[in-house]
Amino acid sequence: MDTNYVRIFDTTLRDGEQSPGATMTRAEKLLIAESLARLGVDVIEAGFPAASPGDLQAVAAIAESVGQSTETPSGEPPMICGLARAKTSDIDKAWEGVKAAKRPRIHTFLATSDIHLEYKLRMTREQVVTQVREMVGYASKLCPDVEFSPEDAGRSEPAFLYEVLAAAIAAGATTLNIPDTVGYTTPEEFGSLIKNIKENTKGMTDDIIISVHCHNDLGLATANSLSGVLNGARQIEVAVNGIGERAGNTALEEVVMAMHTRAPFYEKTTGIDTTQIMRASKLVSSCTGMQVQPNKAIVGANAFAHEAGIHQDGMLKNESTYEIMRPETVGVAESQLVLGKHSGRHAVKTRLGVLGYHLGDDDLKKAFDRFKDIADKKKNITDADLEALVTDELRHASQLWNLADLQVASGTTDMPTATVRLAGPDGEIHVQAAVGAGPVDAIYKAIDQIMGKHGKLLEFNVQSVTGGIDALGEVTVRVESLQSSDSFLNPQSGADAKRSYIGHGTATDIVVAGAQAYIAALNKLIIAEKREDAANDQAAASDAEKQA
Ligand code: KIV
Ligand code: ZN
């Protein structure tokens, strides 16, 4: 076992999805999982299977496909992991989710801080040790690879932590993950915690991997994770763009590029192909609707921009004056110009293959039709255009409602009018016209009438995929459901909690992209409401059964 190798465990699809409003569809999760495999992450935490049937299905779909994929830098499929509370029903669901993967992992957790024991779990320390021993043992009988996390380790009493971790090792855990759940510790404290765990936990050997899982509440997640590595951690839990619960998780791109750029200092390696970082960042941002701040390290729009005259002058003389890493190292290169209007299906298929998309005949036909349509309007199609187009197509492939046609009359007229044609789940075309305050308002009113739903528009963002007046436009909308909801992950959210849904559309015409985005968001809203109704019906039926 190479003790200088640091595993990258990605939790974009689990902790990342816990970011407010970042809920993703199964198709989006699959696209992200494929992108993480290309990036070379060692472990993909694909979800929390006990959270809902949808979560379980998404984890299973990832285990079946990406969990077998050899399109990774190492040629080995990534491990696919499912999260479970330390209880048999959760562990059973996690196993059901990951078992199809070539390398499955169950990640189970139980809190160890006195605060959590007293107020949340209402358990004694002895009960916690017993439950950890039993549940890690239970998981180890199902799955060859088990990770255990003492939740809120950063605020737990060290001696008790060593006892719990020793029980987890004795019961079969091979990875011990140390979460700073509320992002409370400093780099010095967190580094010492890892060192002390390594030195004081009974049963600790080089075969047991210590992992770090840091939250960014004080902006210290990256520093804490790296401090953990300097003190013996050999796995870092991360999310792309640093998304996650509250202020987020450690950003994948930051820890990876710190170890890469400062390799002589850290003397550690990872299996990450850094040139895939930017592609993964863009995909995660568009699937979650969480925009990357321009000054974000590594993946922000300004991360490699030089504005001041003195800096520009220095850069022209020698790049090393103001640049510690080359933009192409993280995949920020001038997007390659690859295809045009005369390119045929074979050229499109080949280029998509190079980008890592191996489509079946149906999907390829749809992607090629979209390509032809766009090539008629846009002279040069770059890799970034092609990727935006194909991910858009794949994400919307299984939608209930789809845009068939759109016509808008707007300008200085008082009555912007839209006529919308949607293909419905019944296979029929539904037509509606509406007048609005502007073209988008008119379109959205027509869509509301056809789909029989009304979402409150919270955000409408437009971004261009590449430069140029004929660039593809990507529109992301956030729509709030007007129906109240309760959440498994936030059981206290109460009857008035509102859920928001992200929708995304890509077209050369941003008004069309805006329509696609809104339809996508309403589709998600309808599916979520159907799931909720089904869960309520099931609960009512089981109540009735109990009373009978
Ligand atoms: O932050 C945390 O404690 C977690 C655990 C479930 C590992 O996400
Ligand atoms: Zn977390």
Query: Which stretch of DSSP H or E encloses residue 476?
Result: strand 473-484
- pLDDT score recorded for residue 78: 98
Q: How far is the CA of 234 from the centre of ligand 2 (A)?
A: 18
Question: Furthest-apart CA pair in the chain: how many Å?
Answer: 83
- pLDDT score recorded for residue 270: 98
Does residue 97's CB lie within 6 angstroms of at least one atom of ligand 1? Answer: no
Output the six-digit token pair for 511.
């008004």
Gyration radius of the chain over CA positions = 25
pTM for the full model?
0.91
Does residue 17's CB lie within 6 angstroms of at least one atom of ligand 1? Answer: no
CATH number belonging to the domain at 7-288, selected among 3.20.20.70, 1.10.150.20, 3.40.50.2300, 3.30.360.10: 3.20.20.70
Output the six-digit token pair for 492.
């206290």
Strands (E) in 152-309, as ranges, are 175-180, 209-214, 235-238
Amino acid letter, 290: M
- pLDDT score recorded for residue 487: 41
Q: Where are the domains of the chain?
A: 7-288, 345-395, 398-535
- Rounded to whole angstroms, what are the CA distances from 398 to 194, 392, 401, 430? 45, 12, 9, 18
Res. 486 pLDDT band, cuts 50 70 90: very low
Res. 395 pLDDT band, cuts 50 70 90: confident
Residue 149 CA, closest ligand 1 atom number: 7
Output the six-digit token pair for 522.
């309403």
Give the ligand at the shortest distance from the Cα of 243: 2
Phi-psi region of 427 (alpha: psi -120 to 50; beta: other; left: phi over 0): left
- pLDDT score recorded for residue 336: 64
Q: Which residue's structure tokens are 């539904």?
A: 430
pLDDT digits (tens, 9 = 90+) for 332-365: 875 566 788 888 999 999 999 988 899 999 999 9
Range of weakest confidence among 109-118, 278-287, 327-336, 443-452: 327-336
First-to-final CA distance of the chain = 59
Closest residue by Cα to atom 5, ligand 1, is: 151
Amino acid letter, 172: G
Mean pLDDT over 152-167 rounds to: 98
Q: How far is the CA of 210 from the centre of ligand 1 (A)?
A: 15
- pLDDT score recorded for residue 493: 41
Please name which of 239, 243, 257 lies closest in space to residue 297, comparing C-alpha atoms.
257
pLDDT digits (tens, 9 = 90+) for 78-117: 999 999 999 999 999 999 999 999 999 999 999 999 999 9
Q: How far is the CA of 24 from the centre of ligand 1 (A)?
A: 20
CB atoms within 10 A of CB 6: 28
Chain length of the chain: 548
Give the ligand at the shortest distance from the Cα of 489: 1
CATH (residue range 398-535): 3.30.160.270
Residue 188: alpha-carbon gap to chain centroid = 29
pLDDT digits (tens, 9 = 90+) for 8-50: 999 999 999 988 778 899 999 999 999 999 999 999 999 999 9
User: Over the chain, what is the mean pLDDT?
Assistant: 92
Q: How many helices (H) and strands (E) does the chain have?
A: 17, 16
- pLDDT score recorded for residue 307: 73
Output the six-digit token pair for 383.
């890799």
- pLDDT score recorded for residue 306: 76
